[in-house]
Structure 1
Amino acid sequence: MNNSDSYLNQEIKPIICVVGARPNFMKMAPILRAFSNIATEWPVLLVHTGQHYDSAMSDQLFEDLHLPVPDINLEVGSASHAVQTAEVMKRFEPVLDQHHPSCVVVVGDVNSTLACALVANKKGIPVAHVEAGLRSNDRAMPEEINRILTDQLSMRLYTTERSAAANLNREGVSDQNIKFVGNVMIDSLRENIKYAKPYLSTVQAHEPAAVKIFREGKEYGLVTLHRPSNVDDPEILKTLLTTLGKVASQIPLIFALHPRTKNNIEKFKLLSLIDPGNTVLLPPQGYVEMLGLMKDAAVVLTDSGGIQEETTALGVPCLTLRENTERPITIDEGTNILVGSDSDLLLYEINNILNGSGKKGRVPELWDGNAAIRIVEDLRSHFFNKSATF
């Protein structure tokens, strides 16, 4: 990015782009690429709050996504929601005081998103929110609170699906501040699918002996679990792992273990529920590894919002282990089905998928790989006195 402070003595004010955690990286990468391609005259600063504090994983993701080294790293690290949010705010304010940006761009729904939006808003700096208007209507989810409040603080709201505008309108946001641009997650997917790692090489790298499970060309399912509502309660986690054991008796599973999930499986002594003969346990994977695991899977079982979108774009059946979703288009038009904690429903849908009668879906409107270009053109027209070209 533009690491020079030469703009400080000019009329050109920089734009600050904020990332904090893994999902943000995939959303910001195409935006930064669009800036470098079509708005080279506008200084851009990339601020990493350090909310995702595993430096090895962050470094790998930045490399996979061809993200530049952040201009500023706030190095916040892990903490409770309140402490982490407050710490981001404390460390972000001096950045704004030093650089006087024309706009702050935040993405998604993590604590860093809300914290930076709140600081910028209180200092009179316009905020642009990418992935605005998504609602699960479940206020027990910390991310839902982050989404609602960030949207209230934002001047430009970029949506991934048309239903998001109705959510924003109900909350008092004017249509003139809303722009339907498509999905930057899919921009990243389309840009990087050619680099996706073959799933067997990923398994081989971590569990060489497990490759034999797939050598006969068997289909497999991919599992990811990380939400506190699924993995922090021992009884809920036990039920999920028991159900996954039944699935694994029908189709081999690759289970990419989030650190939180791994720790709780060990803490609650539930490892015996995982059949090593039919389930491969992997550590957290890089972006191109996960793309490879997803694109070749017969089915994905997850509680991740981003994976619901990626599987829809890839045409891969997705069973979401949640009672709700903030991404309804993945159900209405895509490959996603909510199964929640209903073991019988999950097994029923697995059978449908394996016998070829599972949900097919289609790629939603404007999930075409050009969302970031639309965003940057719109930002330039509002904050840099340039005309938008779409």
Structure 2
Amino acid sequence: MKKITLIAGARPNFMKIAPIIHAIHEAQNQGADISYRLVHTGQHYDKKMSGSFFEQLEIPEPHVNLEAGGGTQAEQTGNIMVRFEQELIVNPADLVLVVGDVNSTMACSITAKKMNITVAHVEAGIRSGDLSMPEEINRMVTDAITDLFFTTSELANENLRQVGIPNARIHFVGNTMIDTLLKQRPNFKAPPIWTDLNLSKQNYIVLTLHRPANVDEASQLKAMLDEIITNTENLPLVFPVHPRTAKILEGLQVRDERLHMIEPLSYLEFNYLVENAKAVITDSGGITEEASIMNVPCLTLRDNTERPETISLGTNELVGTNPENIKPYLQRLFAGDWKTGSSIPMWDGKTAQRIVAVLTSEV
């Protein structure tokens, strides 16, 4: 029996892992000698990650929660490593599979590798070039010790080749986030704000902000919100507020009758809003992927992106972090001059099947 340990540390990780679990179940039903153990590191406490969250994704709850918790970057990484080492001692694995770029991704990769366990990285090779982002360091360190690289784009493949990774270890499989999106799209449901504000299709804008460069400096956040409010004509702005952002907003006194700050939404509710919005304004990487597949205009308030395919092939534009950049992009949007997305290779809902096919042949 080939034993695989799947690692998730934050809510988006489960979106990426859910299709892999489904594909493992399919392989088991077809006679594959493979088993898995789902480990939640507890990196993020999320009150919305209840039993219903796992029911929506159609996956079992994690076999264990390491409850590593928060703290500084070093404290969190160290806690995860200590607890995951104990987990592997009690429950040995043939392969540890990590996804994305959170602290759990790097911490569990290092722990597994030092115990001579094969490491597979889903979303390998992604780079922003911005070393001020903890995620970029996590990506680089993880890929430096990974054995099997599962990539989302040809550019990611090239990034890996440039640091000497042989082609035989690189598997261009696509994007498991899109597997989840396409599977769950028929299940999207309107959140309460839809009826509360009497929203209608393409008659509002979704806003999300959480990156430190945008929200930690109060004057920067206020300037961005002022520009967005000023240049979105008379459309409602629906702003599910990240806890990090909420703390800053409390002292800002940004008020406008069109700005509706609400609690974070479930996956199915949030993507219902995105699918029906006129546009999304965000600093999230994952949302740019989902918006591109749903052909919704996306304005990214960052100076770089690790997902350039959402710009070259999708509906995303890199606006930057200078608030003055926002107006011309919104003018294009309201002029009806936004680009249409085209299909992104391998983002077809079958990525997890390709990953498990490799795992069953190579583990």
Q: Normalising by the residue count of structure 1, what TM-score does the alignment of the two structures yield?
A: 0.89
Q: Which amino acid aligns with 1:156?
A: L
Q: Secondary structure at the match of 2:69?
A: coil
Q: Which amino acid aligns with 1:31?
A: I
Change in Cα spacing, 1:87 to 1:320, as seen in structure 2 (3 Å) is same
More off after superposition, 282-291 vs 337-346? 337-346
Q: Which amino acid aligns with 1:118?
A: I
Over residues 16-69 of structure 1, what are the superposed CA-to-partner deviations in whole Å (9 max), with x where a residue is unaligned? 001010110110000001001123531110000011212433545323212211
| Contact 1:13-1:43 at 8 Å conserved across structures | yes
Q: Which amino acid aligns with 2:360?
A: R
Distance, in Å, in 2 between the alignment partners of 1:191 and 1:236 is 38
Asked if 1:228 corresponds to 2:201, the answer is: no
Distance, in Å, in 2 between the alignment partners of 1:287 and 1:68 is 17
Q: How does 1:4-153 map to 2 (within 5 A)?
A: 12-40=1-29, 41-57=33-49, 59-153=51-145
Which residue does the alignment assign to 1:347?
327
Return the match for 1:260 from 241, 244, 247: 244
Which residue does the alignment assign to 2:287?
307
**Aligned CA-pair RMSD:** 1.5
Which residue does the alignment assign to 2:349?
369
| Contact 1:245-1:273 at 8 Å conserved across structures | no
Between the two proteins, what is the percent identity of the paired residues? 44
| Contact 2:214-2:321 at 8 Å conserved across structures | no
More off after superposition, 40-49 vs 255-264? 40-49
Change in Cα spacing, 1:58 to 1:340, as seen in structure 2 (3 Å) is farther
Over residues 121-161 of structure 1, what are the superposed CA-to-partner deviations in whole Å (9 max), with x where a residue is unaligned? 01100000000101000000000000011111110000001
Change in Cα spacing, 1:181 to 1:252, as seen in structure 2 (3 Å) is same
Change in Cα spacing, 1:230 to 1:343, as seen in structure 2 (3 Å) is closer
More off after superposition, 321-330 vs 238-247? 238-247
Distance, in Å, in 2 between the alignment partners of 1:144 and 1:16 is 23
Q: Normalising by the residue count of structure 2, what TM-score does the alignment of the two structures yield?
A: 0.95
| Contact 1:18-1:106 at 8 Å conserved across structures | yes
Which residue does the alignment assign to 2:231?
247
| Contact 1:248-1:279 at 8 Å conserved across structures | no
Change in Cα spacing, 1:243 to 1:58, as seen in structure 2 (3 Å) is farther
Deviation at 1:248, TM superposition (A): 4.1
Q: Which amino acid aligns with 2:220?
A: I
Distance, in Å, in 2 between the alignment partners of 1:65 and 1:25 is 8
| Contact 1:89-1:116 at 8 Å conserved across structures | yes
Which residue does the alignment assign to 1:331?
311
Deviation at 1:352, TM superposition (A): 1.6
Deviation at 1:367, TM superposition (A): 0.6
Q: Which amino acid aligns with 1:294?
A: V
Change in Cα spacing, 1:301 to 1:39, as seen in structure 2 (3 Å) is same
Distance, in Å, in 1 between the alignment partners of 2:111 and 2:269 is 36
| Contact 2:101-2:136 at 8 Å conserved across structures | yes
Count of aligned positions? 360
Deviation at 1:250, TM superposition (A): 4.0
Distance, in Å, in 2 between the alignment partners of 1:370 and 1:59 is 26
Return the match for 1:274 from 247, 255, 258: 255
Deviation at 1:274, TM superposition (A): 3.2
| Contact 2:299-2:319 at 8 Å conserved across structures | yes
Consecutive unaligned residues of structure 1, counting only runs of 5 or more, are 1-11, 384-390
Q: Which amino acid aligns with 2:22?
A: R
Distance, in Å, in 2 between the alignment partners of 1:240 and 1:121 is 43
